[in-house]
Amino acid sequence: MIITEKLLQRFHEGLCTPEEEEAMKRWLSEDEDLPSEISLIDSREFRDSKDSILNKIELLGADLSESESDQGVPLSPKQVDFRKPRRALAIRYATAAIILCTVGFFTYQFSDYAFGNGTEQSIASRTIKTQRGEKRTITLSDGSTICMNYETEIKALETFERDQRIVYLTGHAHFDVARDTERPFIIYTKDSKTQVLGTSFEINTKEEGATEIIVTSGKVAFSEKDKVNNLVTLTLNDRAVLGADRIIKTDEVDAQRLTAWRENKLLFDGETLAEIIEVLEPWYDIEITVESEELLKEDFILSLDNPPLSSVLEDLSFASGLEYKIKGKQVIIF
């Protein structure tokens, strides 16, 4: 694999595919005697002025050139010894890395300002996160939208590459991917890879050691991250779960009901109170204590559209006779 400046940028931002990351690590390991300045660019340099950044580039070039001088006489920063092309390449990448750090800082600052606290925004670059009790819809540069559930992280480039569209996910999100037959859309999680051309589906990595995907339209290829032979093809209402044992299990579900959360709907069909509490706590950013073990085993059928917490508790109370108290973010059920 050829090491390009674009690949360096992706590596710097943590957006490389597993194959690209392996190639970068292999390339770097071959240059153990490179000056340490290349890997020591830290956040303090984000705050340097343009002149200071340019000065650092010149100094770094001078240091590298000096180490290449056969007679011990420092070369000019512009007089790179091309008899050792890898070191000449290293100078260019060191320069690019410093510039990327500077540009990246201002892009990140602008992104923070642009996103604000709205419910639907346009993604610029870097990483977007949601907290407990928060949902957010973001729009990617290709027109695809991602509805993020609480405690979810999305990482993507500002502009996708010409041959592919790559996103990294941790948490729970629904994707509505704009169709592009020339550029497959790929979602990486810690353990899985999902590839589509244009369709809608959701992925959930919140269960420890497992990744779940549910298809709401079109066709999806779902596989273990680094093993293309461990792959399944899914269509509408198909669900697949990649477990900790690396086995993919599939079944057919009601996708509309299971993805209703993105429309702020709470739908429960036979779930126990214990299972319902697992949804309610991060949904409303609360802590629930149940004083009766028997209550936790009771099951409920509920359908609520964008309900306040009080409405959910009232419906639970009506269905089972339970009582509750609300103290700030603490809810006690007895």
pTM: 0.62
- Is the pLDDT at 220 greater than 90? The verdict is yes
- What percent of the chain lies above the pLDDT cut of 70? 66
Q: Within its chain, how far is the Cα of 74 from the centroid?
A: 45
- The pLDDT value recorded for residue 2 is 65
As a whole number of Å, the CA-based R_g of the chain is 25
Contacts (Cβ under 8 Å, ≥6 apart) of 240: 212, 213, 222, 232, 234, 248, 249, 250
Average pLDDT, the chain: 76
Terminal Cα-to-Cα distance of the chain (whole angstroms): 62
Calpha distance 135→178 (Å, rounded): 21
- The pLDDT value recorded for residue 72 is 43
Ramachandran angles phi, psi of 101, nearest 5°: -60, -40
Contact 149, 265 (CB under 8 A): no
Contact 167, 13 (CB under 8 A): no
Contacts (Cβ under 8 Å, ≥6 apart) of 293: none
- The pLDDT value recorded for residue 104 is 41
- If pLDDT is split at 50, 70 and 90, which confidence band does 26 have? confident
- Is the pLDDT at 199 greater than 90? The verdict is yes
Q: Name the packing angle between helices 273-284 and 309-320 (round to 10°).
A: 170
